Amino acid sequence: MPHRSADELREERRRSSGRESWIYRATEPAELRGRHADLIRSALGFDDRLHYLLYAPIFDGVGGPFGIRATPASHAVAVTQDRLVISVDAHHEGVPADVRSIPFVQVLSVELGAALLLGWLRIHYVDDRQVISTIVTFTTTGSHHFEAVVRAYRALTTRQSTHPGVAISSAGTWRSTPPYLRSATEPLLLDDEPIIHAVNWSESWRSRGRGWSRVRSCASTPGLFLLTHAGLLWASSEPRVRPDIMSFGVNATTINWQALRSASLDRAAEDGEAARLRLELEQEGISMCLEIPFDDEADQATDAAVVILERLRRLERHS
d(Cα 23, Cα 55) in Å, to the nearest integer? 6
Q: Where in the chain is the domain with CATH 2.30.29.30?
A: 11-156, 170-317
Counting Cβ atoms within 10 Å, is residue 34 exposed (0-12), middle (13-18) or buried (19+)? buried
Angle, CA of 239, 240 and 242, to the nearest 5°? 145
Query: Residue-wise over 82-91: b if at least 16 C-beta within 10 A, else e?
Result: ebbbbbbbbb
What does each of the 319 residues of the chain score in pLDDT, given as a tens digit? 556 666 555 555 567 889 999 999 999 999 999 999 999 999 999 999 999 999 999 999 888 999 999 999 999 999 999 999 999 999 998 899 999 999 999 999 999 999 999 999 999 999 999 999 999 999 999 999 999 999 999 999 986 444 445 566 666 778 878 899 999 999 999 998 888 888 888 777 676 666 566 667 766 778 899 988 888 999 999 877 677 677 789 999 999 988 988 888 777 655 556 677 889 999 999 999 998 887 765 666 677 677 667 766 666 666 6
Neighbours of 317 (CB within 10 A): 11
170-317 belongs to which CATH class? Answer: mainly beta
Q: Are 163 and 259 in contact (CB under 8 A)?
A: no
The CATH architecture that domain 11-156 belongs to is Roll (2.30)
138 φ, ψ (degrees, to nearest 5): -160, 165
Q: Are 199 and 297 in contact (CB under 8 A)?
A: no
Neighbours of 193 (CB within 10 A): 19
Determine if residue 305 is left, alpha or beta; phi over 0 gives left, psi from -120 to 50 gives alpha, anything else beta. alpha
- Those residues with Cβ within 8 angstroms of residue 310's Cβ, 6 or more apart along the chain or in another chain: 262, 263
Smallest Cα–Cα separation from 112: which of 154, 62, 82, 60? 154
Smallest Cα–Cα separation from 154: which of 189, 197, 119, 130? 189
> Tell me, what DSSP letter sits at residue 210?
S
pTM of the model: 0.88
Per-residue confidence (pLDDT) for residue 162, from 0 to 100: 46
Per-residue confidence (pLDDT) for residue 54, from 0 to 100: 98
For residue 264, the surrounding DSSP H or E stretch is strand 260-266
